[in-house]
Amino acid sequence: MSSEGFLKEMQTIGEKFLLKLQRLPKADPVEIVSFCVVLLFIVTVVLLMIIACSCCCSSCCGCAGSHPEHRRRKIQVRPIAH
């Protein structure tokens, strides 16, 4: 997908979201609850992605390796002799 197509799709999704928000005060209670559940799910996924990326970046990008006390030691696993 080209960047123009992606931007157009994001604009369409944003417009639908704003339209849904405008209609929400007049909606049924079931529709309000379902909208809140979907919104909570989206927020949770985004929050978990941010947490995962921050944990990954701190171990991969050298942020953790900049201090000597944060360096990890490699442990070799040896078979047990019988």
| % of the chain with per-residue pLDDT over 90 | 30
Per residue in 28-54, pLDDT (tens digit) is 999 889 989 998 999 999 999 999 888
- Residue 28: phi, psi to the nearest 5? -70, 155
Q: What is the C-alpha to C-alpha distance for residues 67 and 63, in angstroms, rounded to an integer?
A: 8
- Report yes or no: 20 and 35 within 8 Å, Cβ to Cβ: yes
Structure tokens at 59: 């171990």
pTM above the 0.85 mark? Answer: no
Q: What is the C-alpha to C-alpha distance for residues 36 and 24, in angstroms, rounded to an integer?
A: 10
- Report yes or no: 53 and 63 within 8 Å, Cβ to Cβ: no
Lookup result for tokens 């309000």: 32
Lookup result for tokens 């992606």: 6
